[in-house]
Structure 1
Amino acid sequence: MKTAILHISDLHLTEFNPGNGRIPSRTISKQYYIEQFIHDTKEKLHDWDAELKKVVVTGDLANEGSRDDYEIVFKELTKLKEGFNLESQDFIIVPGNHDIHRGKNSSVHQDSDAVPKPEPNQFHDAKFQYFIKFYNDFFGNDFEPCKPSIIPFEFDDKKIAFVCLNSNYKESCMSKDHYGYLNLEDILKIESALLGEFKDYYKVAVVHHNPNLDSAEKSIKNWDEVKGSLNSMGIFSFLCGHVHTSENLEVKTTETNCFCSVGSFAKEDPEISNTSALLVYEKEESGVLFFKLERLRYICDGNGLYGKGAWDIDTTKYNKDIKIGKHGVKVKQCVPIISARRPTDILPETTGVEQAFLVEERNEQRIYSDEILSMVREKNAVLSGHFHWSDTSRSHGWIDTGSLLIEDRDIEIIGKAIFSVIKTKEVQFDGIVGLGMEGNILGALVAAATNKPYTYIPVPYRKAYNEYELYAKVNSKRILLLADVISTASTITNIISNTDYRFLSEAEELRVITLFFTGDEKRLKELYEKFENLRIYAICNEIKFGHCGKEPEECPIVKHKLEQIHEFYTKE
């Protein structure tokens, strides 16, 4: 039998009292609502030869987050559990903004005598007090508002890790705090587990707010800051809720990520159609799991009223696949042998490696590093093969940095990353040098922003210098040099040792910022001993390539054509 996962959201269960203006859930006003859902869904599962294995609930279980609300939540979810013959551990639940008790949040904030008094949104245990109790009663374990959880799920020979994220970090009793937000420090608490114990699992995030919406209130406000970190941990697919309309039940797939939203499952509102989603496993292809999305919609009775009603397949929308990938959701196509291969396995499985040249635990720099690694992934910018390009460029891989310097948004992120290093490492400079074509772009960017003197130096293996390039210099004692990739640092050594560029060796301070350092850190210690004025800082220190120290005629890989050989530059 096929494996199926049920995705529901936004139940908004609350005590029904017409006198207080509350909008009841259909589970309260319609006696057989849950029973009808179970019956109709079982019929569909039987038709598809599928078995329901997991239920994912993406928030807003309650309407006001009160103790009474969660008594109803517990009762209704127990009906689902027993109706589908499941256990509590087969449910995956994250809170929504309506799972906060704003009254409790307000009173605890007002009673706090802390100096200075924290913002209301920082009283996490208070605002989730009754959700925490429900969670403990339903699952038998604690819910920690500021620590994501990982729930493994195995079927057949497939392994999925559901990563439960709380996007209500900034939500509070204050209307100004009504937006989605993921706290990066919290996410990093599970990084080692995702890249260690769950390294070989497919990963999917379960979160209330949909990151892929234009509305700031309904989306995740800091999505651009955390997206790279999530992608670097292998999270590319997202199950979401928050928006009630049936139009929210859709799949949006970008180059790298897949977002699946579902509307309200039970809120009684004449302006919406209640919906749910069944994800039925179809196949695995090139590191991507495919689930067929079947939409179930609550249909009115024959009088056009929401009477007993029934659940049926929503044929008004095209049912797309839900994709869960280990290295993104795009299926990699075969590339002819005559071109460079672009495998994703060269990209780092972890960004948790200590970066020797960056300040440790600097979230700002970490964000930019992950953003740039995400760009590399999206643009397939890593090439594999055996590169014999010059005396200084012989390696088992190469990064196409030129592809990262085309779009305005990418250049802006890279520029911010450079200035983040300048700030955290307190780099002082009076002049700027760009090394090579890509370094020229980066150097010009920094020069334009700082109004400092600037010049450009071509890479040493290009002999066709013009007169200006040969004698380019800046009359500065503190120099900042921008490069795209440093591996053995032979290029840096060559230009510092070149008498035409004596101003580099004579500078009191020579600071180099590179997008990527792909070599051995021991090499840098040797450089620092040789050039006391030199320090090198890398934004991304995770992608590493092996270096070939042999001449082409001596290299067995080249000699016997054991791998794709790239000879962009010849010795002549």
Structure 2
Amino acid sequence: MSNAILHISDLHFVLDKEERKDKTRFDNNFQQKFLDSLKENKNNTIKYLVVTGDISDTAAEKEYSKAMSFLEIVASDLQIEKKNIIICPGNHDISRTELAIIAENEDIEDSQLYTKQKEKFAHFTKFYSDFFKGIKPSFDVNSAIFDKIIDHDDRIVILAVNTCFRESNQDKDHIGFINKSSFETELNNIDFQNQYKDYGKILAMHHNPKDLSSEKKHNLENWKELPKDNIGLPFIVLCGHIHGQDGEATQRNDGSIAYISTGSLTKNTTENTFNIYYDIGESKINIDYYALQSKDNLAKSFWQSLTNINQQLKTADFRPNLNESTLKLDEVDILLNEVDEGMKQDINRELQKPKKHQTTKHLNKITNRNIIDFIKERNLFKSGHFHWKNEFRSHGFIDINNLVSRKDSLEVITKLFYNEICKKFNNKFQDTIIIAVGIECNIIGARLSILLDCGYSYIPEPSKEKDFSEIEKTIKSENYKKIILLKDIVYNAEHSKELLTAINTDNKEIFVFSLFYCGKKEMKESIFSNYNNVIFVSICDDIAINQCDYSGKGCLDKCPIYKNKLETIYDEC
């Protein structure tokens, strides 16, 4: 079963009951049929929801209240986490009434009314904040890219783009337009060339970048002027704004950019449609188009897939086929089989001399400064308030996934560990086993065990795996006397201590090697003081990360930073 993206647009919730009859098909029956149709597809799990604008019809607060109720039900019924929802503003989400009041009471040229970004998005901004309730930052009226989803499991990046920069209450401003300088700046802050080079990339927006419609007002006026090279090809644009059969999907002949629109989900005067995109982990995604049938009689209406009926684009290039792509962390065997030539030479050389390990000149030239440089170049230290675990919450995060999934940094890390282990063990590895904790260390540890010609085992999920009996059996059966515990990050060493206690390490020499030590420096020497047989070595201890004082189960709402949203919150508890 693969994860999928649900794409809806142009909800146009209206306030007046009589007007609603004329403008929208939405009622409880419609809502239930829509949800039921989504549950019929048993082969895909809808993980992401993208809404490309026109949530309301006139940007009235009560319209947004109705829209929020609907979206809450969709998210709950389909079990979509709100962090995986993108909501873009459309031209109907502009508060034209507010702009008319400004035009009447302020000395401002009509041509400058569009610059009143805060006022024109006032009601949409409130709706956006109320819906996400601190799960995401507030809607930034001045940002071209105001939200993004980056999922490392699905290797996908979805950017939410505001195309209503020039919209106002003036007819001449009824065009799609993106703030170019903001778009360029925000795009440059995302490392598509390295960190996300093989991720599937989606830009979600209201207006259509390409001429998908015969009406110019549907299109994005300055799309061709925008700097898009940094995104990397291919990528997909999801949009709305075009209602009914006037919408379509197309892809450039070279397969580099696909433009896919969907019509209005609920509007009464048009065809009602939505799209589902699946196989999002592949190089091409598959597209399923749905349309409401027998719409003139809602009691008998039903949603039907048109994928095998119409001539629309059925697949779209989604991610590049790279010769040296970034690999999923659980593809360890593939990674080990694709070790670069320099590392292969090291392995072959060391295997020929299994009992005489030496730190060579090229190893001595590598220092922990190389790791710091990787982090700086790729922007791998993330600032914010990370509430990912009940046991430990922090005020920063190091993206180790990136470090071990890129060959250049993986080689440096492996050699740094190798160098330190050789020094501590005096090149004697008889009766030694490496136990790697976590998928990232599994990648490193497997390589080290080949280089050092020693035993090897690993624990996949340190925070979840509580049964260490198999590890203990391995240690006893092979009579290992020296244990290397390989960790990516040590802060207070609680997980390491739990493991050492569980597997009964009495009469063993224990060496805990960690890539990073992020705790207080004055505590490092005493962190394993309760164990008389443990030696602790960290490759890099230059990055300190403060622990949230409210770590622990049930303490989340007590944290003032989390409660008052004093900085960006990353909450995946």
Give TM-score, length-normalised by structure 2. 0.51
Matched residue SS, 1:194: coil
CA distance in 2, matches of 1:11, 1:170: 22
What residue is the counterpart of 1:453 in the other structure? none
Confirm whether residue 168 of structure 1 aligns to residue 160 of structure 2: no
1:220 is matched with 220
Letter in 1 for 2:239: C
CA distance in 2, matches of 1:217, 1:117: 19
In 1: Cα distance, 2:247 partner to 2:171 partner: 24
Per the alignment, residue 378 of structure 1 pairs with: none
Deviation at residue 298 of structure 1 after TM alignment:
1.0
Pair 1:37 & 2:34 matched: yes
CA contact 2:9–2:263 (8 Å) conserved in 1? yes
Pair 1:305 & 2:297 matched? yes
CA contact (8 A) 1:167 1:220 kept: yes
Matching residue within 65, 68, 88 for 1:94: 88
Counterpart of 1:279? Answer: 277
Q: Secondary structure at the match of 2:207?
A: coil
On the 8 A contact 1:251/1:261 being kept in 2, the answer is no
- After TM superposition, give the deviation of residue 202 of structure 1 in Å: 3.1
Where does residue 17 of structure 2 map in the other structure? 17
Percent of residue pairs bearing the same amino acid type? 25
Find the counterpart in structure 1 of residue 187 from structure 2: 191
Displacement after TM superposition at 1:155 (Å):
6.1
- Alignment partner of 2:80: what SS? coil
CA distance, structure 2, for counterparts of residue 327 and residue 230 of structure 1: 20
Q: CA deviation at 1:191?
A: 2.6
Distance in 1 (CA, whole Å) between partners of 2:124 and 2:77 is: 23
Structure 2: which 5+ residue stretches go unaligned? Answer: 323-376, 378-573
Aligned amino acid, residue 298 of structure 2 = Y
CA distance in 2, matches of 1:176, 1:68: 28
* Alignment check: 8 A CA contact 1:296 1:312 kept: yes
Task: Give the distance between the partners of 1:187 and 1:299, measured in 2 at CA.
Answer: 39
Gaps of 5+ in 1: 329-351, 353-572
Structure 2: how far apart are the matches of 1:325 and 1:192? 19
2: distance between equivalents of 1:242 and 1:231? 25
TM-score, structure 1 normalization: 0.51
Partner of 1:2: 2
2:177 is paired with a residue whose SS is coil
What is the match of residue 427 of structure 1? Answer: none
**Cross-structure match for 2:284:** 290
- Report the alpha carbon displacement of residue 250 of structure 1 after superposing the two structures with TM: 2.7
Aligned residue pairs total 312
Q: What secondary structure, in the 3-state scheme, does the structure 2 residue paired with 1:217 have?
A: helix
**Is residue 203–residue 326 contact of structure 1 (8 Å, CA) maintained in 2?**
no
Distance 1:16 1:31 in 2: 17
Check if 1:268 corresponds to 2:262: no
In the TM superposition, 1:304-453 aligns within 5 A as 305-314=297-306, 315-318=308-311, 320-325=314-319
Q: Is the 8 A contact 1:178 1:217 kept in 2?
A: yes
Residue type of the alignment partner of 1:31? N
Counterpart code for 2:272? N
Contact in 2 for aligned 1:251/1:320 (Cα 8 Å)? no
The answer to whether the Cα contact below 8 Å between 1:246 and 1:264 also exists between their aligned partners in 2 is no
Distance 1:21 1:40 in 2: 23
Shift of 1:35: 1.2
Between the aligned partners of 1:146 and 1:11, the Cα distance in structure 2 is 24
Matched residue SS, 2:36 = helix
Question: Which residue in 1 is equivalent to 2:249?
Answer: 250
Kindly indicate whether the alpha-carbon contact (under 8 Å) linking 2:4 and 2:280 is maintained by their aligned counterparts in 1. Answer: no
Q: Report how far residue 99 of structure 1 moved.
A: 0.6
Q: Distance in 1 between matches of 2:149 and 2:73?
A: 24
Please say if residues 96 and 168 of structure 1, whose CA atoms lie closer than 8 Å, have aligned partners that are also in contact: yes
2:229 matched to 1:231?
yes
Q: Given the alignment of the two structures, is residue 120 of structure 1 paired with residue 113 of structure 2, yes or no?
A: yes
Aligned pair in 2 of structure 1 residues 184, 198: CA closer, same or farther (>3 Å)? farther
Alpha-carbon distance change, 105 to 254 in structure 1, aligned in 2, over 3 angstroms:
farther
- CA 233–252 in structure 1, closer or farther in 2 if over 3 Å, else same: closer
What does the per-residue CA deviation read over 1:458-497, in whole Å, with 9 as the maximum and x for residues that have no partner? Answer: xxxxxxxxxxxxxxxxxxxxxxxxxxxxxxxxxxxxxxxx
Q: Determine the C-alpha separation between the residues in 1 that align with 2:147 and 2:89.
A: 15
Shift of 1:117: 8.1
SS of residue paired to 2:224: helix
Once the two structures are TM-superposed, the CA of residue 282 in structure 1 deviates from its matched residue by: 6.1
Q: What is the CA-CA distance between 1:145 and the residue it aligns to?
A: 1.9
1:160 deviates by 1.4
CA change 1:231–1:308 in 2 (3 A) is farther
Q: CA deviation at 1:22?
A: 7.5
Identify the match of residue 131 of structure 1 among 124, 130, 134.
124
Q: 1:105 to 1:6 in 2, by over 3 A?
A: same
Amino acid at match of 1:233: I
- Residue of structure 1 in register with 2:540 after alignment: none
**Amino acid of the structure 1 residue aligned with 2:105:** D
Task: Quote the Cα distance in structure 2 between the aligned partners of 1:282 and 1:188.
Answer: 26
